[in-house]
Amino acid sequence: MPGTERKDVVAEVLHPSLQQAAGLVPDLLAFIARDDAGEADFNVLALRLFAHQFQHNAAFQKFCQQRGRTPRTVKRWQDIPAVPINGFKDLTLSCVPTEQCERVFMTSGTTRGDVKGRHWHPELAVYDLSMTRNFRARFMAGRERIRMGILFPDEQLMPNSSLAHYLALALHNFDLPDSRYYLDSAGLQLDVLCATLEQVQKSGEPFALLGASYSFVHLMDALQARGLRFTLPKGSRLLDTGGFKGQSREMEMDAFYDSLSATFGVPRSACINMYGMTELSTQFYDAGNAELPALKSGPHWIRSRVVDPLTGQEMPAGERGILAHTDLGNFNSVTTILTEDVGVAVDSGFLLLGRAQGAQAKGCSLAVDEFLKAARA
Amino acid sequence: MKLQAAHLPGVDLKAVQWHTLTFGEGAQRVEVSVPKLAPEQLQALARHVRTQGGAQIRALPVSQIITAIDRAIARLLDTQDPYRQQLDRLLPPITGFDAEMVRLGLNAYLKTFRAPQLQRFVAEDFANPKLLDEFQPRAKGGMARALGPELLVHVWAGNVPGLPLWSLVCGLLVKAPAVGKVASAEPLFAALFARLLAEVEPRLADALAIVWFKGGDTASEGALYAEADTVLAYGGNETLAALQQQLPVTTRFLPHGHKLSVGLVSAAALDAQHLPVVARAAALDVVRYEQQGCYSPHTYYVARGGRVSPREFAQSLAGELAALQHKFARRALSLEEAASVAVWRQVQELKGQDGSVELIGDAGAPWAVAYADRAGPLLPCALNRTVQVQAVGALDETLPLLAVQRDFLQTVGVAASPEELHALAEGLGRAGATRICALGQMTAPEAGWHHDGRFSLLDLVRMVELEASAEAAAEPYARYRD
C-alpha cells in the first residue's frame, strides 16, 4: 500500500533541522506518491519550494536577485532562475546548515579539474521515494523483484556517489536472493560474474545487470577477450547510465547497444539507459534503445525545458538547446538547474544528444581539459 | 557546378568520387566538393607527387621557387584576380568570420609571403641559402648540402583561414613535394593556392596535391602516411598522439599542438593618452579570428600603479569590443560554442558572488570581459570574444602564473617601456613563451617567425655532409695525380 509506506517515511523525516521545511516535505512526499499531477499542481508546489529556497538559501537568494527574480515576481515554474551545475561547485546550495545534512553527493569532477559539485541532502526520504517509485515504473516492467548484478562499487566504498546510492536502493528494494555487487575495490570480479551469468543462463530466471556505461564497456572487453557470450533468459534487462567519462574507450551509442545485445543476448529494447545527475533527486529513463536517440522522460514531479544557453529562453520545438530541469525532489538545494547537456524537446519528453562539447578545439587554439590538466599539475 | 576543393595531379578525375561539405545557411549557404579517394588512389597520388613532383621541384633553384610563390601571392593580393575573388567570396561563409575581417586579415598575412620576405625566411634558417640547391664548401673543410623530404605530408586544422600557407611555403622552400590534407572546417584555401601555383609555374604542377578525408579514417591515413618521410600536423594533443601512433618510427613527425597566448599591459602604458590606443590594440587581438588562433589572447594581465587602473583598462577594453562589433560583427555561434560561452560566463558570475570577479557585458552582448582584482594562473577563456583582465602589482608577478601553462604558452603581447620589455623577455621565455610581440600584432606573426619556437625550414631538411677526409682520400685516385 503506497499510503502506509508514505506514513512511515513522513514520520521519519520530521527531523528538527527541517522544521523550517515542516509541511513542505510531507506535501512533497504525498505529491510524489500520487499517480500523476497536472501543470497547475506542479506549479503550486514548485513556487512554494522556490519561496522556501529563496528565503533559506543565501547564495541562491543572491543568484536570484542578480537576475531580478524574487518570489514576488516569479509566477510560473518556468521563471524560477535555473542554477548552472557549476553553481554546485562554487556555491553552497542548501537551506539547512550543511553539518546537519545526512548525506552529500559529489560529482566526479571531470570538467573543472578537482572542483567537485556538492549536493546536500538533509535526509534521503524524498530522494529514496523519488527513486523507487520511478524505478518501479520504468525499469521493473511489472515485476516486483528480479535477481540483480551491480557493476558499480557499493555505498560503503563510494559514500558520496549518488549512483552508488541509487544502485543500493535498487538492490535493497527490488532484489531477489543471490543479487550482489560484482565490483569492489579490487575491480571487476570477472570469474564470479561469469559463473553467475552461466548459471543464470541455465536457470531460465530473468536477470538484471545494472551499472555505469563504462563498466559495461570494460566487462564486454573482458568477455570478448575470453571469447564469452551469453544468452540471458527472456525478461532479463540491462540498465546503463552516465556515459563513458573517459573511464573507458568511447563507443558510438549504436555500437554500444549492439554490443550489449550481442554479448548478453538481451534485445536492445530491454537495454534501458538512465539519465541522472548528482545535482538532481530524480532520474529520467528511456523505454529501451532499439532506436537512437531514445526518448527520455521523467515522472510527474520533474519537468524539463530546452533553452538557449546564453539567454535562457526556451527554444522552438524541434531545435537543439541546453536542457534545464525543474525537479521538485530537490527541496533543499534548488529546484531548477541548467545542465550542460544538449537536447531536443519532443512530445512527452526529450531526446538527449550528449554533452555540449563547448570549446571544441578545431585547430591549434585550445582544448580546455588539456590546459586544466596543466594548471593542476 | 559546385566548387571542387582539391588539387590532384596525375589522378584520373573521372574515377574520383566527391563528398559535399555545406557551410552557412540561407543566402550565405555554400557547398564545396572534396574528393573521396580510395586508399589505393591516395597511395598512387602520393607516389606520383613523390616521383614526378619531386623531380620537378628539385630541378628548380630556390630563387625560382621563391619567384613562383611570389607571383602566386601577388595574384592573391590583387582584388581583381579571380582566385582572390573566390577567397573573398567563399571564405567568410565557410569560416563564419566577418567578411571585412577576413579581407584585411588575408592582406596582412599574404604580404608576409612576398619575395623579399621569403628570402628573409630562408636566410633566417640558412646562412647560405644555396645549401638548398647544391653542395656548398664549409669553412672547416668538406662540403654540405641540405635536402628536403622525399614526400612531405601536411595535416591542417581549419581554425584560421589561410593557415595552411605557412607549412605549404616552408615545404616548397626546402623543395619538398607535398600532399596536404585539408580540414573539413576550411577546405578551400590550400586547394586554390595549389591550383594557382601550378598555373603561374607549370614546372611545379605535380609538386603539390591537396586531398581530404575524415579525421579518424585510418585506412586513408595509413595509405598516405606510409608514403611520407615527414609529416607536419596541426591539432589537439590527442589528435596528434593518435596520428603519431600510425607513423613508422623513421618518419619525421613535426606536431603543432594547441597553444595559449596572453597579453601584458604595464603601468607605463596606462595613462589617459595611451589608454585608447592600447585598449583598441588589445581588443583587435581578441576580435581577429574570434580567438581561434594559437596566437590569440585569452587573458590580459594589467599592472596597478598607472594613472589608469586595471579595472578602468577592463572597461575601456569592453568599450572597444562593443565598438568593434559594428565594424567586425562576431560570427553566429553554434550551440556548442554558445554553451561554452555560457558556462564560462556562469563560472565568472558565480566567482563574482563574493565580489572577486566582475563580468562586464550582459548575456546578450557578443563579447564579455571578466575583470578580477586578484590574478590567478593563466586559464583559457571561452573564445569568441570572451577575455579575462586580471590586475597584478607588476608584470614580473605574472611569470609564475604563465609558467603553469609552459607546455602551451606561445605568444605574449606586451605594452611596456623598453626597460620593462627587455627585463621581462628572459623570464617570459623561461615561462614557455616563444614569441613576444606588440599588442595589436598578436595575430600577425612576422615573416620567418619560428613557429612554436622551432626552425620552420631546418626542421624539414636533412644535412648531407661530404667530409674533408673523403675529398682528401679521393685525390690519390685522380686522373691527374702525380
The yes/no answer to whether this complex scores an ipTM above 0.85 is no
Q: Does B346 touch chain A (CB under 8 A)?
A: yes
H/E stretch holding B371: strand B368-372
Distance from CA of B192 to the nearest CA of A (A): 20
The cell numbers describing A347, all together, are: 512530445
- Which of the residues B189, B335, B351, B388 would you substitute to probe the A interface, choosing the one with the greatest number of A C-beta atoms within 10 Å? B335
- The distance of B312 to chain A (nearest Cα, Å) reads 23
Compute the distance between CA of residue B234 and CA of residue A189 in angstroms, rounded to an integer. 43
Say yes or no for a CB contact (<8 Å) between A367 and B236: yes
CB B248 within 8 A of CB B398: no
Is pLDDT of A83 > 70? yes
Please say whether the beta carbons of A100 and A17 come within 8 A: yes
- Residues in contact with A250: Cβ distance below 8 Å, sequence separation at least 6, in sequence order: A244
How far apart are alpha carbons B185 and B482 in whole angstroms?
69
Compute the distance between CA of residue B180 and CA of residue B207 in angstroms, rounded to an integer: 11
Which pLDDT score, from 0 to 100, does residue A360 have?
A: 38
Geometric angle at alpha carbon B292, from B287 and B293, rounded to 5°: 100
Average pLDDT value for chain B = 94
Sorting pLDDT into bands at 50, 70 and 90, what band is A30?
A: very high
Label the pairing between strands B297-303 and B357-360: unpaired
**Shortest distance, CA A111 to any CA of chain B (angstroms):** 11
**Lowest mean pLDDT, pick from A171-175, A248-252, B179-183:** A248-252
Q: What cell does A351 get? A: 531526446
Yes or no: say if B329 and B290 are a contact pair by the CB < 8 Å rule: no
Residues of A with CB under 8 A from a CB of B: 59, 62-63, 66, 84, 86-87, 89-91, 112, 308-312, 320-322, 338, 340, 342, 356-368, 370-372, 374-375, 377
Q: What are phi and psi of B425, to 5 degrees?
A: -55, -45
> Residue A3: what residue type?
G
Name A83's Cβ contacts closer than 8 Å, sequence gap at least 6. Answer: A60, A63, A91, A93, A334, A336, A337, A338
Using CA atoms, how far residue A68 sits from A55, A80, A364, B80, B370, in Å, is 15, 11, 40, 55, 21
Q: What are phi and psi of A7, to 5 degrees?
A: -60, -45
Residue of higher predicted confidence among B417 and B447: B417
Please report the pLDDT score of residue B343 as a whole number. 86
CB A326 within 8 A of CB A49: no
Residue B420: all three cell numbers together? 620593462
User: B457-473: buried (b, 16+ CB within 10 Å) or exposed (e) per residue?
Assistant: bebbbeeeebeeeeeee
Whether chain A has a CB inside 8 Å of the CB on B365: the answer is: no
Question: Can you spell out the DSSP letters for A288-319?
Answer: --SSSSPEEB--TTEEEEEE-TTT-PBPPTT-
Please spell the DSSP secondary structure of A67-82, one letter per residue: TT--TTT--SGGGSPP
Contact B210, B182 (CB under 8 A): yes
Asked if pLDDT for residue A331 goes beyond 90, the answer is yes
A117-131 burial code (b ≥16 CB/10 A, e <16): bbbbbbbbbbbbbbb
| pLDDT per position as a tens digit, B92-115 | 999 999 999 999 999 999 999 999
Of A90, A91, A374, the CB nearest to B407: A374
Distance from CA of B58 to the nearest CA of A (A): 31
- Does residue A105 register a pLDDT over 60? yes
Reply yes or no on whether the pLDDT at B118 is more than 80.
yes
**Nearest Cα residue in chain B from A340:** B339
pLDDT tens string B168-195: 999 999 999 999 999 999 999 999 999 9
The pLDDT of residue A14: 44
Q: Between B197 and A246, where is the model more confident?
A: B197
Residue A174 has pLDDT above 70, yes or no: yes
The span from the CA of A54 to the CA of B229, in Å, is 65
In terms of C-beta density within 10 A (0-12 exposed, 13-18 middle, 19 or more buried), how is residue A165 classed?
A: buried
Mean pLDDT of B125-129: 94
Reported as a single tens digit per residue, the pLDDT across B143-167 is 999 999 999 999 998 888 888 999 9
Q: A310–B256: do the CB atoms touch at under 8 Å?
A: no
Greatest Cα pair distance, chain A, in angstroms, is 64
Query: Taking the model in full, what pTM does it have?
Result: 0.84
**Residue B240 grid cell:** 596528434
Count of CB pairs separated by less than 8 Å, A with B: 141
What is the percent of chain A with per-residue pLDDT over 70, rounded to a whole number? 86
Alpha-carbon gap: A154 to the closest alpha carbon of chain B (Å):
32
Select the more confidently predicted residue: B163 or A193: A193
From A355, A44, A364, select the one nearest B258 (Cα to Cα): A364
In B, minimum Cα distance to A369 occurs at: B380
Per-residue pLDDT band for A355 (boundaries 50, 70, 90) equals: confident
What mean pLDDT comes out for the span B5-23? 94
